[in-house]
Each structure stands twice: as C-alpha cells, then as structure tokens.
Amino acid sequence: MDIAVVGTGYVGLVVGACLAETGNHVVGADIDESKIQGLREGQIPIYEPGLDLLISRNVAEKRLRFTTDIGAAVLESEVIFIAVGTPPDEDGSADLQHVLDVARVIGQSMTEGAVVITKSTVPVGTAQRVRDEIEKQTDRTFHVCSNPEFLKEGAAVDDFMRPDRVVCGIEDDQVRPVLEELYEPFVRTGNPLIFMDIASAELTKYAANAMLATRISFMNQIAELCEATGADVTVVRQGVGSDPRIGQSFLFAGAGYGGSCFPKDVRALIKTADDLAVDLSILKNVHEMNERQKGLLTAKVMARFGTDLSGRQFTIWGLSFKPETDDVREAPALTVIEELLEAGASVVAHDPQAMETARSFQLGDRIAFGEDAYSACEGSDALIVATEWLQYRRPDWDIVRDALRAPIVFDGRNLFKPSRMRAMGFAYYSIGREQVE
C-alpha cells in the first residue's frame, strides 16, 4: 500500500517504520523542517531501541522517506495516518488543534476513496470532528477510522510488530478489508484484530491507560499503608499479583508514573467525563495520588536532612520517566529536582539516554550532569534513584560509598534489598518497605 503518516514523533516514526518493514511504501510527513532534514540524514530525534536500524534499513531500500510537504504526501497515498501530538490543554482536555489542522490538509489534497486513520490518542468524538473538517474541504468520498496505538516507550517497535491486540474503529464494513490487509502481517500468530464502532475504539485507548495508572496509584497507596504497619510492599505485591485475576503487571510501588501518556490521558478522560456529567472520582483520586507520590522522595530526603537543604548536594540516577527511553515528560525525577533546588540544594544527575533531553526540556544549566553514574556521586550527601535503568540495578557499592559524603541512598524504584543495604553499611530509604537508618 501507499501510506502517509503525518507526524514524526514517537508514534509516527514507529508506525511508519514498521509498516514499511512489511513492504508498504510509506512517507512520513511533518512541518518541522529541521526534524525532517535530520531524518533524511539518518538522525533519529528520539531514543527507542531498534528504531534507528528499522528506519535506516527501510530508507535504504526505498520503502520509507520523509517530507515536509504534507499535501503531496496525502495526494499519493491511499491510507493516511494522523499521528500528531495531542498535548493537554489548561483544563486537562486534549488539544486537537494539530489533528484538525492535518484534517484540513487531507481534505484539500486527498484522492477519491482515501482511508483516514486517527492514530493519535484522542477523546471520544474526534473522528467525527475530523470527518467534519475534511468535508468542509472536499466533496470526494473517504473513510475515517480510529486505530489507537498501544505502544510502550522503550518497547514500541516490538509492540507494533507483535501486538497483543489491534483495535480498529470503523464506520461501516466497507473499509474493513483495507485494515485487515494492513495489519495481517502483524497478527498472524492469532492475537486479535478487534473491530468496533469508532466511539468505542477512541474510549478503549483512554480506558486502558487509565486502568494501568489506577493499578500503579493503588499499589502506591498500599505501599504507604505498608510503611505505617511495618509490612513489606514487595511481598504484598507478590501475594496479590499471584492471583491470576489480577496478575503482576503495573503493581510495582515507586515514585509515581510519568511520560506522555498516562498523566495526559487520565486528565483527558476526567475532563470528558466532567463535560458529560459522569462521575469519575476514582480517576481523580488516581491523578491526585500520583501527584503526591512524585514528591515522596523529596519528603524522605527532608525527613532525614531537614527542610533547608542549602549547601547540600544530591545525586539523581535516572531522568527519563521509565528506562529505555529519553522521554522526560512529567518524569518523577523532574519533580524531585525542582523541589530540591527550591529547598536550596544543588543537584548532579545521570541518565544513560535522557541527559540532553532533560537539559533542553527545562533543566538547562540549573543542575550538573555526571559523565557516568559513579562520577555523579562525587561529594553528594546522598544518592537518589529515580529511574530503574538496568545499569543501576547492580552498582559497585564500594565506589558509591567512597564517592558520597555519607552512605545514604533514597530508592524511588525499590531496586535493592534493605537487608543487603544494611549489611553494606548504608542508610537506605525505599517505598513501602523497611527503612534502614
């Protein structure tokens, strides 16, 4: 198929590269000239394992190319994906400006019978707004579908190539064969290609992310109860998760969730419900709990050192909201850093992939960055672990101890055993477990 993917962010790049990998001819379109020029030169603007090789191979084999001419990309394509950003507005709703801007261009440029697919995460009713915008520009026939993405940053390529399910919202069965042909290479092992109405497809994406966010916030509240009662959230999680009706996923207590999806999607779903006079108080509590959880590490630091941290230095391991990505949007580490700086402390941070992103995102030169995890610890009053990168899981504690002013660790991801940290002479503070003084 000839396919256009409008938007070359996390979702658009993965979608375009993976569809090209299965033999389609894909053009990725974006108005950002510097990004498109970089992609043409082999510069991938995000870190996503395996994506660089996938893009370079398909560009070399002429199945994938990039352009800033969105109209031309639409004109030559039978299937057009809308994969632009939907950032949160001030009231929590999804900002659909970019989606509707693309819809206008599609209406001006598309050929007869084009299939327009919203891949961006959008609230219920967006597909109809896309249809209305296109119809203002053309009298050609076309189809609008909803095909929400379920990609985990850090494993997005594998998620697309081996999906656990593909959800397609369609207006009528006429367009169904196009989507079946498009996704047949990815569901050959039997994982479902689920067809439903468009409103249900749009809501499925939000409901899935809200459910996962709810599990995280629930377990973080159980962790708070564990600390108050002397229980250990790690073994509580194991006991709860061993129930096959519940499972182990997304039950890890920690410093809160972040990223471009969960926080934004929870707020957008709350706003949609409020607009329709539906009480989603459970999700309001999920969001409020997560915002409090992001400040938990700082609260533990202040309980140990006091609220005035002037003259003290702290090391942060991990800036991205999760490992295997350079995405720092709404990362708990940023909340911790801001609160430490506000209390008068200085901060030295290290992250395997996200230091440049964090520097350009909002930190600038307000903190220092370590060349490696160990040098970042030099002269600090304590180490704070904010992201569970694999390389942080088995550090050389002798080097860490020698680098720090005192052997003190605050672990926001429960990576280490309290008993082992005690045996090595560290004061160790984690989430929902024994605090080692």
Active-site residue list: 261
Tokens, residue 131: 């249809």
Sequence letter at residue 101: D
